[in-house]
């Protein structure tokens, strides 16, 4: 378990993870299929039959989404891009790429691979479902296969809408990139298209909800919010990448930070370091050797009546790749690490020795300034 993500399987060396939000949606969808869709479309079956149909259909959807994302991942790897994993969450799946595509052709082929996989799966489910007919009547298995076939074709069609970060938006970016030769500009245009599309979905959902669609309209609103958020996040990530390009951690770290020894009590830390310096994060150093860090997050976990008996060394987080970074590393890598771990400060080291700390707020300030001046 990593945060709210649970690793289920590993395929071709790619970890497939499920976010807790997807589990919630899967349960809700199984209930909706068992109590709504299947009884309405295929009458006369038992409740138990409807329930196992709903559960199997959701499992089929899971496999379909994983295969869709695996198609992206396999093509990405063929072009030398590192794939950290696949995560299924609230509204689908996402392949976590460590690098951006090297050229428009790689972007195009990687983006189109997912919808092609969904179309192939849709046709496969439809053709297989035709085998499960008895005297012209659809069997429960045939009904499930027909549903999955329809869903995969809808998934392919929806993903081809030219709105970033949908696959269609990536195809649009590839075309714009090839046309202008400017990846940054192409991403900006595609992301704005995604943001507008997200707003359109939200407006459509609100109108639908007010005119009687009920929960169906709410789904459109949620989907629109997701698309808009993802598009805006993509724009920010690109601005950040360009703002931090060529800059190192050493350029923006705070040098000679205030450190604390491991043998003081938590009460002493609060009274003589936190209140005095108004800092929330301190490197822990013992006889000149860096052993870890402590923040208010760790302090809050110690009950007030135990703080005068608890040593800082007992609650300090040891040095690890999650909370340390080399001074020569790129500032962009520091930002990625902060986003991935949730740490807003990192210990900066050189050959294992502490030489500073770098804060998320300082990187964000740089990104804001360069954006304002038009560099990013």
φ/ψ region of 220 (left if φ > 0, alpha if ψ in -120 to 50, else beta) reads: alpha
Tell me, yes or no, if 69 is annotated catalytic: yes
Identify the active-site residue in 43, 69, 100, 326: 69
Nearest 5°: CA angle at 96, between 94 and 99? 135
Closest to 130 measured CA to CA, from 118, 119, 141, 117:
141
Instruction: State both tokens at 327.
Output: 């001074």
Q: Could you give the dihedral angle defined by the CA atoms of residues 247, 250, 252 and 256, in that order, rounded to the nearest 10 degrees? A: 180
φ and ψ at residue 342, rounded to 5 degrees: 85, 5
Instruction: State both tokens at 329.
Output: 């590393």
Closest to 131 measured CA to CA, from 121, 117, 145, 149:
145
Query: Would you tell me how many other CB atoms lie within 10 Å of the CB of residue 33?
Result: 23
Distance between CA atoms of residues 123 and 102, nearest Å: 32
Distance between CA atoms of residues 203 and 201, nearest Å: 5
What does the buried/exposed string (b/e) look like for 203-214 if buried means 16 or more CB atoms within 10 Å of the residue's CB? Answer: ebbbebbeeebe
Distance between CA atoms of residues 117 and 120, nearest Å: 5
How many CA atoms does the CB half-sphere of 152 hold within 13 Å?
Answer: 31
Coil vs helix vs strand at 359 = strand
Catalytic residue numbers read 69
């Amino acid at each position: 378990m990593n945060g709210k993500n649970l690793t289920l399987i590993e395929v071709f060396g790619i970890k497939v993870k499920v976010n807790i939000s997807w589990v919630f949606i899967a349960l809700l969808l199984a209930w909706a299929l068992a109590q709504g869709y299947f009884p309405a479309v295929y009458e006369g079956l038992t409740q138990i039959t409807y329930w196992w149909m709903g559960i199997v259909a959701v499992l089929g959807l899971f496999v379909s989404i994983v295969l869709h994302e695996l198609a992206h991942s396999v093509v990405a790897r063929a072009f030398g891009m590192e794939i950290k994993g696949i995560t299924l969450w609230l509204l689908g799946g996402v392949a976590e790429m460590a690098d951006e595509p090297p050229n428009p052709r790689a972007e195009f082929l990687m983006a189109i691979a997912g919808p092609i996989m969904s179309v192939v799966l849709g046709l496969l489910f439809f053709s297989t479902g035709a085998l499960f007919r008895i005297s012209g009547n659809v069997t429960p298995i045939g009904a499930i296969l027909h549903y999955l076939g329809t869903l995969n074709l809808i998934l392919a069609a929806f993903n081809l809408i030219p709105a970033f970060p949908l696959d269609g938006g990536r195809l649009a970016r590839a075309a714009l990139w090839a046309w202008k030769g400017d990846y940054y500009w192409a991403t900006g245009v595609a992301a704005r298209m995604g943001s507008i599309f997200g707003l359109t979905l939200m407006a459509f959902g609100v109108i639908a909800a007010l005119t009687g669609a009920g929960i169906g309209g709410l789904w459109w609103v949620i989907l629109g919010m997701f698309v808009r958020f993802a598009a805006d996040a993509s724009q920010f990530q690109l601005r950040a990448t360009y703002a931090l390009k060529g800059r190192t951690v050493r350029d923006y770290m705070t040098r000679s930070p205030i450190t604390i020894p491991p043998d003081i009590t938590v009460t002493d830390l609060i009274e003589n370091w936190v209140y005095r310096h108004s800092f929330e994060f301190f490197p822990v150093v013992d006889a000149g050797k860096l052993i870890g860090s402590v923040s208010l997050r760790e302090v809050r976990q110690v009950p007030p009546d135990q703080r005068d008996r608890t040593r800082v060394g007992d609650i300090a987080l040891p040095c690890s790749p999650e909370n340390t970074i080399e001074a020569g590393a790129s500032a962009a890598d520091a930002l990625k690490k902060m986003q991935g771990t949730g740490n807003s400060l990192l210990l900066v080291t050189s050959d294992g020795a502490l030489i500073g700390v770098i804060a998320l707020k300082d990187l964000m300030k740089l990104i804001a300034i360069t954006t304002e001046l038009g560099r990013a």
